[in-house]
Amino acid sequence: MELSVLAICYLIASVTFILGLKMLSNPATAKKGNRIAAVGMIIAIFATIFLYKDESGKHLGNYIFIFAALIVGSVVGAVAARKVKMTAMPEMVSLFNGMGGACAAIISIVEFNNFIKAPGWTSYPPLSNLGNTNFNVNVAYGHLLIVILGLIIGSVSFSGSIIAWGKLNGVIKDFAFKGQHIVNLLLLAMILISAGYLLLNINGAIKIDVSGTLDKPEISFTKDSWIVILFYVVVVLALLYGILFVFPIGGADMPVVISLLNSFTGVAAACGGFLYDNKAMLTGGILVGAAGTLLTILMCKAMNRSLKNVLIGSFGATAKSPTGQTQQPGDQTVFKEISAGEAAMIMTYSSKVMIVPGYGLAVAQAQHACHELEKLLTEKGVDVKYAIHPVAGRMPGHMNVLLAEADVSYDKLLEMELANEEFSTTDVVLVLGANDVVNPAAKTDPSSPIYGMPILEVELAKTVIVNKRSMKPGYAGIENQLFFQPKTSMLFGDAKDVLQQLIMVIKNL
Residues 50-69 that bind other proteins (CB under 8 A): 52, 54, 59-63, 65-66, 68-69
Q: Which of 7, 11, 15, 24 binds other proteins (CB under 8 A)?
A: 24
Exactly one of 253, 277, 436, 497 is catalytic; which is it?
436
Binders of other proteins in range 102-121 (CB under 8 A): 102-104, 106-107, 109-111, 113
Query: What whole-number distance in Å separates Cα of residue 435 and Cα of residue 466?
Result: 9
Collapsed DSSP state (helix, strand, coil) of residue 230:
helix
Rounded to a whole number of angstroms, the minimum distance from the CB of residue 241 to other proteins is 20
Instruction: Give the interface size with other proteins as a residue count (CB under 8 A).
Output: 119
Binding characters for other proteins, 441-480, by CB under 8 A (x = yes): ----------------------------------------
The reply to whether 436 belongs to the active site is: yes
Read off the amino acid at residue 291.
A
Residue 7 contacts other proteins per CB under 8 A: no
Phi then psi for residue 287, to 5 deg, are -55, -50
DSSP 245: H
Considering only CA atoms, which of 154, 107, 147, 150 is closest in space to residue 262?
154
Residue 387 bridge partners (DSSP): 414
Considering only residues 224-283, where is the footprint of other proteins by CB under 8 A? 255, 258-259, 262-263, 265-266, 268-270, 272-283
How far is it, in rounded angstroms, from Cα 329 to Cα 391?
26
Kindly give the residue spans of alpha helices, DSSP state H, lying in 327-405. Answer: 340-348, 359-364, 367-379, 398-405
Q: How far is the CB of 164 from other proteins (least distance, A)?
A: 12
Minimum CB separation of residue 446 from other proteins in Å reads 26
- Is 298 a residue that touches other proteins (CB under 8 A)? yes
Contact call for residue 302 and other proteins (CB under 8 A): yes
Q: Please report, for residues 134, 143, 209, 230, 336, the alpha-carbon distance to residue 125 in angstroms, rounded to integers and kept in the order given.
A: 12, 18, 10, 27, 84
Measure Cα distances from 197 to 99, 114, 145, 211, 244 in Å. 29, 20, 11, 31, 23
Which residue of 44, 137, 344, 491 would you call a contact of other proteins, by CB under 8 A? 44
SS3 content of the chain, % helix, strand, coil (to 5): 65, 10, 25
Binding residue for other proteins (CB under 8 A) from 8, 25, 131, 222?
A: 25
Give me the 379-408 binding string for other proteins, x by CB under 8 A, dash otherwise: -----------x----xxxx-xxx-xx-x-
Interaction mask 136-165, other proteins, x per CB under 8 A: ----xxx--x--------------------
Which amino acids are annotated catalytic? Answer: 436
